[in-house]
Structure 1
Amino acid sequence: MTTVHLLAPVEQLRRALGDERRRALDDMVAVLAAGATTLARVFPAAARRTGRGDLFVDGPRLEDAVRVELVATAAARLDPGTLLAELEDLYRHGDADEKRAVLLALGGIDDPLVDGSALLLDALRTNDVRLVAAAMGPHARRLSAHDWRHGVLKCLFVGVPVAGVADLAARADDELAAMVRRYTDEREAAGREVPPDAFLVRDLTTPTTRPEG
């Protein structure tokens, strides 16, 4: 059994849905909890059955909150390996919205046996700002230092606010600062605007000064 932290409290999500859509979500949760179906059967149609849109100002989207709750329900009865396999399958066959929900669900999983770093790396190879932002959430702690640094740089390239990068201040190091300095120097030399977040990241750490001689 693996715990998945939800994007929104259950009661808040139910209030936002209304009666018909709330019943649809409760039905999906019930059949998943009973083991009568799989995530693959309910995940794709979840947004159609419960709706889309912002759940609340500056908060998660309703369809993401619904899908993460479905993942949490399934995770309560699956072993970590099976859960990861199902999430990989959902991501591999899903559209961009479904991929984002999988990445957000991974961000709510603390179980060390559920390592979705391969999915994060796939998302970081895209230019979809929604996928890049979701990939650099809490689950990015699983990425190697090398891959994580390149993930931060990808945020700068595609315009994802680095405020959403988990553990940025804690993981920023001299190598990241050097990478961002090269990025800002190249843009300035080309007469291109440098995003303010680049200076924020660059200034998080001071490069180590090597002794002369």
Structure 2
Amino acid sequence: MNHLHNAAASPTASSPAPPTEAVAALHARLNSQLDATARAWLDSALDEAAAHPGTHGPISVWELRIAEAGRRCGPEHADTARVLLLHAARADADTLARVYRQGTAAERRAVLHALPHLVPGPDALPIIEDALRTNDTRLLAAAVGPYAARHLDAHNWRHAVLKCLFTGVPIDAVAELPRRARGDFELARMLGDYADERSAAGRPVPEDLYRVLALTEPGSDVPTASAPRHPGTPSGKES
């Protein structure tokens, strides 16, 4: 679901689109992909979320629609539909934390995608930190999106990058990677140590590691496929 990240912020853009514009773009894109029945359901669910954004009883009315989104819109469109529902419900950090805590893995992923649209400050970082503790690669990929790029501190962001390499999450999932990695000598040291450990164990070093390592050079800008290898490491790609 890279379009969810890209609609919120692009590593190469001068500034991210305002959340309302990004969400409008998501809605227009999704409408173009849904059939008439699914569009009607989504419009009704969004109206319901906008009209009843708070909690009514043990569960919010719109939270029921969050659970239905995969069945109504199709699993390939569920993330986007859920982000739109969360935005229509004006979910704040506490509400998002509750939906994340009570949700399925797919619903948690949608919450992670929704964060940059709904939470301007660092209040939702506990959600990101929880997702980064998992080994679910789809959650990890969502957790290293624009919200983490803006608010995650340097120590935890570096470890998030290393975890992506360790679990096989492509580094292209890491939002604003060139900006945050540029001149980060501590990240370069950690990458070198990780490469040395894998090399000593006779295991291949992920190609993505060299791309990130190249970005840590001062003045670097974009990942390069021909980045220099860490001294002493063998060639080969992660299988």
TM-score, scaled to structure 1: 0.82
The answer (yes or no) to whether the contact 1:107–1:139 under 8 Å persists in 2 is: yes
**Correspondence for 1:129:** 137
Counterpart residue identity of residue 127, structure 2: L
1:6 and 1:120 map into 2 onto residues whose CA distance is 21
Pairwise CA distance, 1:7: 8.6
Residue 218 of structure 2 corresponds to residue 184 of structure 1: no
**Correspondence for 1:174:** 185
**Correspondence for 1:18:** 35
Residue 86 of structure 2 corresponds to residue 71 of structure 1: yes
Q: Which has the higher contact order (CA 8 A, sep 6+)?
A: 1
Q: Deviations over 1:145-180 (max 9, x none)?
A: 100000000110111111221121221201111001
The answer (yes or no) to whether the contact 1:178–1:202 under 8 Å persists in 2 is: no
The answer (yes or no) to whether the contact 2:161–2:171 under 8 Å persists in 1 is: yes
Residue 64 of structure 2 corresponds to residue 41 of structure 1: yes
Among 149, 155, 172, which residue is 1:146 paired with? Answer: 155
The answer (yes or no) to whether the contact 1:108–1:138 under 8 Å persists in 2 is: no
**Correspondence for 2:168:** 159
**Correspondence for 1:194:** 205
1:6 is paired with a residue whose SS is helix
Pairwise CA distance, 1:84: 1.1
1:184 and 1:7 map into 2 onto residues whose CA distance is 43
Among 34, 42, 51, which residue is 2:74 paired with? Answer: 51
Of all paired residues, the percent bearing the same amino acid is 45
Q: Deviations over 1:40-97 (max 9, x none)?
A: 23211221122222xxxxxxxx11110111111112xx6xxxx111110110011110
Name the CA shift for 1:19/1:38 in 2 (closer, same or farther; >3 Å): same
Pairwise CA distance, 1:206: 4.2
Residue 46 of structure 2 corresponds to residue 29 of structure 1: yes
Segments of structure 1 that go 5 or more residues without pairing to the other structure are: 54-61, 208-213
Pairwise CA distance, 1:143: 0.9
Counterpart residue identity of residue 160, structure 1: V
TM-score, scaled to structure 2: 0.74
1:68 and 1:206 map into 2 onto residues whose CA distance is 36
Counterpart residue identity of residue 158, structure 1: T
1:194 is paired with a residue whose SS is coil
The answer to which of 144-153 and 100-109 deviates more is 100-109
Provide runs of 4+ in structure 1 moved above 4 Å. none
1:9 and 1:148 map into 2 onto residues whose CA distance is 27
2:103 and 2:143 map into 1 onto residues whose CA distance is 16
Counterpart residue identity of residue 153, structure 1: L
Segments of structure 2 that go 5 or more residues without pairing to the other structure are: 1-17, 54-59, 219-239
2:67 is paired with a residue whose SS is coil
Residue 101 of structure 2 corresponds to residue 101 of structure 1: no
Counterpart residue identity of residue 200, structure 2: A
- Aligned residue-pair number: 191
Counterpart residue identity of residue 51, structure 2: A
Name the CA shift for 1:87/1:38 in 2 (closer, same or farther; >3 Å): farther
